[in-house]
Structures are given as C-alpha cells and as structure tokens.
C-alpha cells in the first residue's frame, strides 16, 4: 500500500487517513508514551470511547467514506474505509442491527469494489455475519483469486492478474480475505497457499524480517505480514504432518527466524523500520500474537504494553475525562479498535514453551480447544504460549497451564524450572499434561516430578464420578484415563497418559467429526477448563491485573498471623495467607507477618494474637493439643478454625471437640462485631457476602449472610469456626467444587477477624 506522497508506505492507508500532510506528520511524530499498563476497565472505557466516536463520524449517505474522494480519484479504495470501520465495530461486539452499521452493511452489499484492500476487508465483514452473506463472501473470494498474479505470487492494488508489482502489504490483505473465506467453508485451491508460502519463504531477509517491496530495511508491519501468511499456510497445507510427532514443515525455520526478529525489534509505541502508520503496524502485531499464541515478544507482553501505548496514542485525559485526541483519523480509530477488541478476549489455556524438549509437536492443539470452546460458549476465546523462562505469575491469566510432549521432562526436582511450576500451582494454578503419541516416558516423568514436588499430595487415577467428568459435559463413553494430583482442596495437576489428545486436537482443529473418542477428548478438556475456572465467566485478558493498580500506601500498622502445624493436611493452600498479606498491604495499609508453630506448642507462645488452624478432613485432637489450645485462648488469644475447600469435616470435628473440652456452646456470628465491624477498628461491614457457584448450588442462590460460628469464653469470642472455605478463596483463583466465600468476601471477613483479634 504505497502512497506517492510517502514512498514505501501503503497508499490505501495513507489515503484512507483522510488527513492533511501536516496532521499526518503530527500524529507520526508523536510517539505513544504511556508507560503504566492498563487494566481491563481502562481498556473497556477506551473501546467504548472509540466506538462512540466512530458512530459520531458516521454519515447516512457516505457512511465512513467522508474525505476520501480527493485522495481516491480512481476509486480503487471505494468502500474500504467503511468496510474497515464496520469490521472493527463487529469485532468490538456491536450488533449488525445497529442502525448505522445496518446502513453501512447495506451500502457494502451494493458496492462494486475495484481494490484489493477494500475487497479483502469486506470479505472479513461478510465472514462475521450470518450465513445469508456467504454468497457475497464467495463472490469476493472469487474476485481475489482471479486478481492473484502468478508472476509475483501475490496482489497489487487492483484486479491485475498479470501484475509484476511486488507488494507484501496488499498480498497479506489478499491472503487474509481468502483465509476468512476458507474459515467459513469456502473452497480455496491449495495452489494459492503453496504459492504464498513459497513467496514469503524466499523473500525473507537474512535477519528474519520482511520488507515492504524488494528494497529497503525490514519493517515490523511487513514482518507481521510474512509471519501471518506463513501461519495460515501451515494450518491449511501442513496440519496433517503434525499428527505425528517430530515432524517439520517447510516454513518452520522462516517462522522461527521471523519470530526472533519480531522479539528483538518489538516496540509497542512505534513502528520498527518505519516511522508512520503506527496503528496499522500494531494490528499486525495482534495478528501475529493470536496466530502464534505468543504472549511475549522478547520479554514484553505485546497486548498489555501495546494497549497502554495505543490508548495513549488515541486518547487524552481532559480534566479527568478521557476523550479522543484531536485529528486522530478514522483509520487509526478502526485499527486501534480491532487491536483492543480482539486481543483482550479471555485466555482459556496457556501452553508451556520449553525449547529443551519437543514442546510443540501439535502446534494447533491449544488453538483447537479455544476454537471449540468459543463455538460452544458463543464468545471469542484465546490461547497463549508462555515460556518456562518467564515469571510464573504471568501464567495465571488463564485457568490452566498445558504441557505436551513425547519426551521426558528434563527437570531435576531442585531446578529453577521446577521451582516455577511449584510456585505456579501454589498460587492457584492448575497444570494439564498430555502425553503426545501416548509416550510412557513423558507420563512417568510427570508423575515422578509431581510426587517429588508435593510428597503429601494425593496422586491417583480419577474415578468415573469425579467432577472433571461431569462439570459441564458427561464424559463416560469412552471414559478417558485421567490421573490427578490433589492438595485436598482441588486438583493441582492432571495427566492424560492415553488417547493422544494432542493428535485429536491437531487433526480436528476444533471441529470434532462425531467420533466418540474425539467428542470425549473435547468434552473432557472443556470440563477441565470450566473446573479450573470455577464455572465462572472467563475474565477478559487484563482483568487479573486490577489489584496491581491499587495504591501501595506505606504500612500504618503491623499484625501477625500464626499458622499451626499438626499431623495432617494442615496447610493445603501454601500461598493463601501470603496473598492475603499482599492484599492487606495494598488495601488496608497493614503489614501482615506470617509465622508457624506446632499446635501442641501453642501454649508456649506468650503473645495473644490470631492463630489460623486449617484442614480438610476430620481431625482428632490429642490431649496435649487440646490443652495447648485451651491455655492459649484463656490467655486472650484468638483462633480461626477453617475447612479449606469447604467440603470436608475438619472445622466441624474441631468445633465438637473444643466445645466439649471447654464446656462452652458455639453459635452463629451473623450479628457479632466480627461480622458487622461495629466498634472494631480496621473492620468493615460484612453482613452481606457472596459465595462460590458450588456453595450457591448447595445453599441456594439467596444465601448472602456469612455463616461463621464462634465459641465464647468470659463473653469474648475466642474461637471462630468457618465450615465454608476461606483459604482457597484468598488466592483469587476460583475452582469448581470449592464450597465457600468468593475472593472479595473471604478477604473482607479475614480482615475483620484480624482486626478483632489484635
């Protein structure tokens, strides 16, 4: 897309910008500078602002073509800007029945377009609409195929099958148009993909990047074009090769070197290799990110950092109100809206990348699951690839971490990689490991590593009545072989040693054919995703960063929480109180220190404070433990006794034993200051709380009162019992089957208990 005004820049984009030269230069010169990554609420606000602005710019007669005529004398881009805006609004979730959109779509149906860009983008519009638009998609696909030049294996600006003009920008858009048709079932002869694949392999520069034409430096946008087309060709031409392990394909090295170039040159705030058309480049980044699954380019989260820079580029805060910057073009708004809308879709699976093993035998396995679940849930869902070298906190934006290989995991139990995997699971993450080609080496290595990391956890073959077989779908025919590692509250690791789930996903691409084994595989994996997300709505991509935006005030006070150890599963969620301490520092300016003590030594601690006693199954206290507890609470100490997960009998068994030991009755605390917060410094009103979906199913959706119970000595509550889960909720990672409070309610209740105890 080359403009005569700016050599080596795409003409369509320059013309569609509908700006004066001065305005364009001002936009190009002002590089986005925002450094604080946004959270989802800020992205949502920006999307709404852009959508409203685009509707404001709509004209009933000319739609979004206003200002194009003087830049588009030959009409080759007629309809292109309108098609681009319509596509962006559809990606943003706007209804095609919205009057402005309905009028624009009708206009597009009647327009005879003569330009490759306009036709390609319009094909994308038809692909987002109901089946009645398929004939129009077929017509545009046929036009694009007829316009394809075999002299250069690509497209020029117009319908010219004899063109010798080499243009990677028009070619990528032509390929995108045909790809949209292929995804909707329209037959595109493989010859086109073979020629496009060969073109981009042979035109790649030695450093891994791609040029706009045949001269000049590589550009970020054109490298995105090369990678995008190669990923399309891989999926449409070579998918069957990956049904076997250790298979390569012609473009593998080109993609690898292209991603290396992208990683080393990625800049979320400027177009590498070219100063202009920032939003066009950034939309290319989004396409590569979604096609490759990569979460990071280099060490930067492309969506989070790109969204920050893009929002700064398009908007400005004016007296506390966010508004669109002056002179921002309609094209920039449309490309920006597509980046923000498509990239923020919930991520349901993170696939682990470790270049020391064959981690990507089936490159479309995770993508196939995301596609299947997108269709089933009728919402856009994404997948990602995360490297073993990254901080495991960055793996937590999806319900599970997917590891697949036919090779044994090469990790020593004391290695850095194992520390990261252990940390991830302790933070509330869940790992799903699948044995490619039913590899026994892989399965045995996973089992050995899991039991070494968590020697007290339960490793067993899951029975047919386990939640994973019934959360959403009933999976029983055939019943897959599934092994699980549980900490007593939840499954923290799932191993699928049989059935070669990765091959099924790769072969079917998200569309099972009807074979029972295929349907069982998709249903099982979907159940695992829903289990790991607690059957709650999947959060948008940046929703998990909300807490990081809170002000970190200096601590105004310090409190101490002591965990007790006893012979049993006394600390199933090892990181729960650490997460609570971080929340207390951010929200209550309180530093929480956490210590441990053996339960039977509790009386030796001379300082009354809050003690937390957690467990799962019923526990018989020893005489020494009972005496230690009694001595401690008679000295003024407070104990919280809680059943982690909320389905065991731990707290009930302890409540019965302490009530008998002390000759004291227990009762509900719904009106006590621990719940109401009245008269307790640092406490809040917790008379209304929310429960997990599992708890709501058990108690009824109308239950909003806390169910804490207490045991009083001399008029003061000294032991607090929670038969519903508090501990797991502190992690902020909902899991199906946990019966207790949601994260916000659990944090607030524990804050009140801390305030009362001190």
Asked if the structure places residue 185 within a domain, the reply is yes
Q: Does 70 share its domain with 151?
A: yes
| CATH code: domain of residue 67 | 1.50.10.20
Among the listed residues 293, 318, 295, 320, the one whose alpha carbon sits nearest the alpha carbon of residue 306: 295
pLDDT value for 555: 74
What is the rounded CA–CA span in Å between residue 154 and residue 590? 63
Q: What CATH number does the domain containing 745 carry?
A: 3.40.50.12140
pLDDT at 22: 27
- Residue 4 forms part of a structural domain: no
State the Cα torsion 667-672-676-680 to the nearest 10°.
-140
Interhelix angle 365-377/501-508, rounded to 10 degrees, is 70
Residues in the chain: 758
Q: Are 479 and 620 members of one domain?
A: no
For position 72, what pLDDT does the model report?
59
Report the distance separating Cα 177 and Cα 662, nearest Å.
Answer: 76
In terms of DSSP bridges, do strands 431-435 and 401-405 run parallel, antiparallel, or are they unpaired? parallel
Q: Does a structural domain hold residue 142?
A: yes
Mention every residue, 6+ apart, whose C-beta is less than 8 A from residue 25.
none
What does the alpha-carbon distance between residue 324 and residue 318 come to, in Å, rounded to a whole number?
Answer: 10
Position 353 scores a pLDDT of: 97
In a domain, 543, yes or no: no
- Classified as helix, coil or strand, 459 is strand
Q: Is residue 2 part of a domain?
A: no
Q: Which two tokens stand for residue 468?
A: 């994973």
716-722 and 638-643 as β-strands: parallel, antiparallel, unpaired? Answer: parallel
> What angle separates helix 80-91 from helix 116-127, to the nearest 10 degrees?
30
Whole-angstrom distance between the N-terminal and C-terminal Cα of the chain? Answer: 68
Domain-embedded: residue 706: yes
Provide the b/e sequence for 651-689 (b: ≥16 CB within 10 Å): bebbbebbeeebeeebeebeebebbbbeebebbeebeeb
Q: What is the pTM of this model?
A: 0.91
* Residues 293, 422 within the same domain: no
My answer on whether 409 and 421 are in the same domain is: yes
Q: Which of 274, 308, 343 is the last residue of a domain?
A: 343
Contact status, residue 527 vs residue 720, Cβ threshold 8 Å: no
pLDDT along the chain (758 residues), means of 10: 34 36 31 66 96 96 73 72 97 96 96 95 98 98 98 96 96 97 97 98 97 94 98 94 80 95 96 94 96 95 96 90 92 98 96 96 96 96 97 95 97 94 97 97 96 91 96 93 97 96 96 94 98 95 70 75 95 96 91 94 78 97 95 93 97 97 94 96 96 93 94 94 98 96 98 94
Q: Does residue 3 form part of some domain?
A: no
Q: Find, among 479, 451, 449, 450, the residue nearest to 466 by Cα.
A: 479
Residue ending a domain, choose from 314, 343, 372: 343
> How far, in Å, CA of 731 to CA of 107, rounded?
51
Close Cβ partners of 205 (under 8 Å, ≥ 6 residues apart): 211, 218
Helix/strand/coil for 497: coil
- Statement to judge: residues 510 and 626 lie in one domain: no
Q: Distance between CA 501 and CA 499 in Å, rounded?
A: 6
Residue 251 lies in a domain: yes
Which one of 475, 501, 532 terminates a domain? 532
Total domains in the chain come to 3
What is the pLDDT, as a whole number, of residue 25?
Answer: 28
Verify that 608 and 740 share a domain, yes or no.
yes
The two tokens of residue 30 are 């002002």
Given a contact cutoff of 8 angstroms between Cβ atoms, the answer to whether 337 and 88 are in contact is yes
DSSP structure class, residue 249: -
| Statement to judge: residues 385 and 331 lie in one domain | no
- Angle of helix 220-237 relative to helix 168-183, nearest 10 degrees, comes to 30
Give the containing element (helix H, strand E) for 207: none
Q: Which domain range does residue 667 map to?
A: 550-757
- CATH code, domain carrying 482: 3.40.50
User: 661, 668, 687, 669: which is closest to 748 by C-alpha?
Assistant: 687
The pLDDT tens digits of the residues spanning 539-590 come to 999 987 756 555 556 777 889 999 999 999 999 999 999 999 999 998 888 9
Which residues does 490 contact at the CB level (< 8 Å), separation at least 6? 430, 645, 728, 735, 737, 738
Same domain? 723 vs 662:
yes
Say how far apart CA 583 and CA 751 lie, in whole Å: 10
Question: 572 and 469, same structural domain?
Answer: no
> For residue 323, which phi and psi values (nearest 5 degrees)?
-140, 160
How many CB atoms are closer than 10 A to CB 111?
17
Q: Are 517 and 652 within one domain?
A: no
* d(C-alpha 724, C-alpha 641), whole Å: 10
Do 432 and 379 sit in the same domain of this protein? yes
Which residue in 546, 596, 549, 574 sits closest to 427, CA to CA?
A: 574
The reply to whether 326 and 364 lie within a common domain is: no
């Amino acid at each position: 897309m080359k403009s005569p005004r700016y050599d080596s820049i795409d003409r369509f984009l320059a013309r569609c910008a509908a700006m004066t030269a001065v305005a364009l230069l001002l936009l190009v010169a002002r590089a986005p500078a925002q450094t604080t990554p946004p959270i989802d609420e800020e992205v949502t606000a920006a999307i709404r602002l852009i959508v409203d602005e685009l509707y404001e710019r709509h004209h009933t007669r000319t739609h979004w073509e206003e200002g194009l005529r003087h830049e588009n004398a030959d009409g080759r881009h007629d309809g292109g800007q309108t098609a681009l805006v319509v596509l962006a609004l559809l990606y943003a979730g706007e209804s095609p029945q919205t009057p402005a959109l309905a009028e624009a779509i009708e206009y597009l149906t009647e327009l005879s377009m003569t330009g490759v860009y306009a036709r390609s983008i319009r094909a994308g519009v038809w692909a987002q609409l109901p089946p009645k638009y398929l004939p129009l998609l077929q017509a545009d696909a046929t036009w694009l195929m007829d316009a394809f030049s075999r002299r250069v294996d690509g497209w020029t600006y117009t319908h010219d099958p004899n063109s010798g003009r080499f243009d990677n920008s028009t070619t990528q858009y032509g390929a995108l148009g045909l790809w949209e048709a292929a995804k909707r079932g329209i037959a595109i002869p493989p010859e086109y993909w073979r020629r496009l694949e060969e073109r981009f392999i042979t035109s790649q520069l030695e450093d891994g990047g791609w040029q706009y034409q045949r001269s000049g430096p590589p550009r970020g946008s054109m490298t995105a074009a090369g990678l995008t087309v190669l990923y399309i060709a891989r999926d449409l031409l070579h998918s069957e090769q990956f049904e076997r392990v250790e298979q390569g394909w012609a473009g593998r090295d080109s993609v690898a070197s292209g991603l290396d170039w992208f990683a080393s040159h990625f800049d979320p705030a400027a177009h590498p290799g070219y100063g202009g058309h920032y939003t066009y480049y950034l939309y290319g980044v989004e396409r590569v990110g979604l096609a490759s699954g990569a979460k990071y380019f280099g060490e930067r989260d492309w969506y989070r950092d790109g969204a920050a820079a893009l929002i700064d580029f398009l908007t400005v805060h004016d007296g506390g109100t966010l508004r669109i910057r002056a002179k921002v073009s309609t094209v920039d708004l449309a490309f920006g809206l597509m980046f923000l809308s498509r990239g923020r879709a919930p991520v349901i699976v993170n696939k682990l990348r470790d270049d020391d093993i064959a981690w990507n035998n089936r490159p479309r396995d995770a993508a196939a699951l995301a596609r299947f679940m997108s269709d089933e849930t009728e919402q856009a869902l994404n997948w990602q690839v995360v490297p073993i070298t990254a901080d495991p906190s960055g793996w937590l934006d999806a319900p599970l971490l997917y590891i697949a290989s036919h090779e044994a995991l090469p990790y020593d139990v004391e290695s850095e990689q194992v520390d990261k995997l252990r940390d991830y699971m302790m933070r509330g993450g869940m790992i799903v490991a699948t044995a490619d080609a039913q590899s026994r080496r892989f399965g045995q290595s996973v089992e050995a590593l899991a039991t070494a990391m968590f020697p007290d956890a339960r490793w067993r073959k899951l029975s047919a009545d386990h939640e994973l077989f019934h959360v959403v779908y009933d999976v029983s025919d055939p019943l897959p072989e599934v092994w699980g590692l549980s900490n007593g509250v939840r499954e923290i690791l799932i191993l699928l040693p049989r059935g070669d789930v990765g091959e099924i996903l790769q072969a079917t691409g998200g569309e099972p054919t009807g074979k029972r084994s295929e349907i069982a595989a998709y249903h099982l994996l979907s159940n695992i995703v829903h289990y790991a997300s607690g059957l709650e709505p999947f959060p948008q991509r940046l929703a998990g960063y909300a807490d990081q935006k809170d002000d970190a005030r200096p601590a105004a006070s310090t409190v101490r929480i002591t965990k007790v150890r006893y012979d049993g599963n006394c600390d199933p969620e090892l990181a729960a109180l650490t997460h609570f301490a971080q929340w207390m520092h951010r929200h209550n300016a309180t530093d929480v220190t956490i210590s441990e003590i053996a339960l039977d030594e509790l009386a030796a601690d001379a300082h009354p404070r809050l003690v937390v006693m957690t467990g799962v199954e019923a526990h018989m206290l020893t005489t020494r433990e009972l005496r230690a507890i009694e001595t401690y609470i008679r000295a003024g100490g407070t104990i919280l006794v809680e059943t982690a997960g909320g389905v065991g009998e731990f707290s009930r068994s302890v409540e019965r034993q302490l009530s008998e030991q002390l000759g004291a009755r227990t009762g509900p605390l719904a009106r006590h200051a621990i719940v109401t917060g009245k008269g307790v410094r640092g406490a809040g009103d917790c008379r209304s709380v929310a429960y997990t979906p599992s708890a709501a199913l058990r108690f009824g959706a109308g239950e909003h009162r806390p169910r804490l119970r207490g045991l009083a000595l001399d008029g003061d509550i000294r032991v607090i019992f929670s038969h519903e889960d508090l501990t797991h909720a502190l992690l902020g990672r909902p899991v199906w089957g946990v019966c207790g409070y949601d994260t916000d309610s659990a944090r607030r209740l524990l804050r009140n208990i801390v305030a009362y105890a001190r």
